[in-house]
C-alpha cells in the first residue's frame, strides 16, 4: 500500500442500498471505493484493482461469499488482501467458517456506517503493520542471500580454474555450497557440499567452512589430510544434528592426476574427451558428525579437455518420484553424453535445461560444477 495514494476498498453486496451506504461513508473519509453485486464481478475487480481491503457479503445469489473468499485465497495475487464479512447470519458456525476460509473479521447487518469505518481503519492498520514486517524480514533475508552468494567464487574471477557453474538456492538460506581453492599455479581444489537443513544458521556456517578450506587445503597436506583436518574442527563447532555431505576434487594439471575425496556425496561424473561418461563411485562418511571418519578416495589419470562434473544431490534426487542419488546419478549418464560438445563454461546450465526445462522446477537446492582439465 502506497501512503501517497488513497486506500482502496472493494465492497461486495447484492443489496445496492448497502453498497451506496458503504461507498458514501468511506468515500467522505478519503477512501477510494470499488463495488460489485456478485461474486464473479468481485473476483474480477479484486484481481484487476488489488484493493487494500474487501468488504464481502456472505449471502448472495449464485456465488456465495464463502465461495468468493475461497477462490480469492486460492489465487496468489489476491490471497494477501484482508477480507471482512458482511453478515446477517448470527450462527457461530457460519462465522467460524468465514474465519477458516481466511476472513479477518465480520460486521453484522444491519451495520452502522461508523462501525464499518472503524473496522476498516483497524484492519488497514494491521495490514500495514504486517506488510511492513514482511518487507523488513524479506530485506534481511535478501541481505543474507546476497552475502552467502557473494562468498561463492565466480568463474570469471578464477580463469585458471577452468570451471563453469550452475547455482540455485530454493530458499533464502541455501544448503548447497561450493568453493575454488588456488593451491598452486597448476593445482586447483574444487569443493562442493550440501548442509543438512536450510536455515539461517547455514549461511553463517558457510563462512566457517570457507575459512577452514583456505587454511587446510594447501600443498603441505594431502587432499585426504585436508578433509580430515576440516572434519575434526567441524565436529567441534557444528550444532547438534548439523553435518555436510561433500566432495573435494584436487586437480594437478602438471601431473594430470585427479584426486577425489568423497564424504557421503553423490558420485563424480568423468566425461573423457575421447570416451563415454562414467561415475566414480565410492563410500565415505559425512563431514562434521564423527571424529573417527573414513572418506572415500580415488586417484584418476586424466587428459587435456576431459570434463569432470561435481554436483549436489538436488540434481539427481526426487522425493516426488522416489529417486535417490544412488539410482538417479546412473540414469543421467546419457545426458552428459548429449551435452559433451558444449563448452565447459556453459555445460552446467545446459545440463539443468536438459533435465528440468522451464516447466519442472527442481525440488531442492542445486549446485553443478563442470571442470575442464
> Is 282 in the same domain as 159?
yes
Grade residue 362 by pLDDT with cuts at 50, 70 and 90.
low
pLDDT in tens, 127-139: 887 777 666 655 6
> Is 102 in the same domain as 194?
no
Number of domains observed in the structure of the chain: 2
Please indicate, yes or no, if residue 207 is contained in any of the structural domains: yes
d(CA 121, CA 118): 5
Q: Give pLDDT, residue 365.
A: 79
Please indicate, yes or no, if residue 1 is contained in any of the structural domains: no
Q: Number of helices and strands (H, E) in the chain?
A: 10, 15
**Domain termination site, one of 143, 161, 193:** 143
Question: Mean pLDDT score of the chain, rounded to an integer?
Answer: 86
> Is 99 in the same domain as 200?
no
Q: Give pLDDT, residue 320.
A: 60
Q: Give pLDDT, residue 127.
A: 82
Cβ atoms of 189 and 259 within 8 Å: the answer is no
**Domain termination site, one of 105, 123, 143:** 143
**What grid cell was written down for 225?**
589430510
pLDDT in tens, 249-272: 999 999 999 999 999 999 999 999
The residue count for the chain: 373
d(CA 333, CA 351): 11
Q: Give pLDDT, residue 126.
A: 86
Please indicate, yes or no, if residue 2 is contained in any of the structural domains: no
Q: What are φ and ψ of residue 41, in 5° steps? A: -65, -40
What is the distance, to the nearest Å, from the Cα of residue 99 to the centroid of all Cα atoms in its chain? 30
Q: Which single residue is written with the C-alpha cell 482502496?
A: 8
Residue 18 sits in a domain whose CATH number is: 3.40.50.2300
**Domain termination site, one of 101, 123, 143:** 143
Q: Give pLDDT, residue 161.
A: 94
Q: Tell how strand 83-87 and strand 105-108 pair up.
A: parallel
d(CA 77, CA 258): 51
Query: 158 is in which domain, residue-wise?
Result: 151-372
- Among 41-55, 60-74, 85-99, 354-368, the minimum mean pLDDT is found in 354-368
In this prediction the pTM is 0.62
Kindly tell me if the per-residue pLDDT of 45 is higher than 90. Answer: yes
d(CA 244, CA 202): 11
Residue 350 sits in a domain whose CATH number is: 3.60.40.10
> Is 74 in the same domain as 201?
no
> Is 189 in the same domain as 263?
yes
> Is 137 in the same domain as 215?
no
> Is 222 in the same domain as 315?
yes
> Is 198 in the same domain as 332?
yes
Amino acid at each position: 500500500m502506497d501512503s501517497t495514494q488513497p486506500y482502496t476498498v472493494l465492497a461486495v453486496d447484492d443489496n445496492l442500498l448497502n453498497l451506496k451506504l458503504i461507498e458514501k461513508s468511506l468515500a467522505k473519509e478519503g477512501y477510494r471505493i470499488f463495488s460489485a453485486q456478485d461474486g464473479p464481478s468481485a473476483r474480477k475487480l479484486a484481481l484487476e484493482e488489488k484493493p487494500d481491503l474487501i468488504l464481502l457479503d456472505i449471502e448472495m445469489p449464485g456465488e456465495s461469499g464463502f465461495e468468493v473468499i475461497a477462490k480469492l485465497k486460492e489465487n496468489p495475487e489476491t490471497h494477501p488482501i484482508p477480507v471482512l464479512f458482511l453478515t446477517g447470519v448470527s450462527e457461530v458456525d457460519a462465522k467460524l467458517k468465514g474465519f477458516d476460509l481466511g476472513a479477518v473479521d465480520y460486521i453484522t447487518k444491519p451495520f452502522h456506517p461508523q462501525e464499518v469505518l472503524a473496522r476498516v481503519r483497524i484492519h488497514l492498520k494491521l495490514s500495514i503493520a504486517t506488510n511492513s514486517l514482511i518487507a523488513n524480514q524479506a530485506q534481511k533475508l535478501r541481505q543474507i542471500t546476497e552475502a552467502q552468494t557473494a562468498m561463492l567464487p565466480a568463474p570469471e574471477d578464477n580463469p585458471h580454474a577452468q570451471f563453469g557453474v550452475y547455482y540455485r538456492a530454493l530458499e533464502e538460506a541455501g544448503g548447497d555450497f561450493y568453493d575454488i581453492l588456488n593451491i598452486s599455479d597448476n593445482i586447483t581444489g574444487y569443493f562442493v557440499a550440501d548442509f543438512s537443513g536450510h536455515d539461517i544458521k547455514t549461511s553463517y556456517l558457510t563462512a566457517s567452512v570457507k575459512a577452514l578450506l583456505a587454511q587446510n587445503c594447501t600443498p603441505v597436506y594431502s587432499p585426504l589430510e585436508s578433509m580430515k583436518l576440516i572434519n575434526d574442527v567441524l565436529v567441534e563447532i557444528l550444532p547438534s544434528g548439523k553435518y555436510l555431505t561433500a566432495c573435494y576434487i584436487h586437480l594437478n594439471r602438471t601431473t594430470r592426476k585427479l584426486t577425489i575425496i568423497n564424504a557421503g556425496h553423490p558420485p563424480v561424473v568423468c566425461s573423457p574427451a575421447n570416451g563415454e561418461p562414467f561415475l566414480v563411485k565410492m563410500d565415505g562418511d559425512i563431514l562434521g558428525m564423527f571424529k573417527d571418519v573414513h572418506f572415500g578416495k580415488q586417484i584418476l589419470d586424466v587428459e587435456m579437455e576431459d570434463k569432470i562434473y561435481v554436483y549436489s544431490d538436488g540434481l539427481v534426487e526426487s522425493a516426488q518420484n522416489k529417486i535417490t542419488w544412488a539410482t538417479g546419478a546412473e540414469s543421467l549418464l546419457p545426458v552428459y553424453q548429449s551435452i559433451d560438445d558444449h563448452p565447459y563454461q556453459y555445460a552446467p546450465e545446459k545440463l539443468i535445461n536438459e533435465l528440468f526445462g522451464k516447466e519442472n522446477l527442481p525440488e531442492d537446492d542445486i549446485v553443478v560444477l563442470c571442470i575442464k582439465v
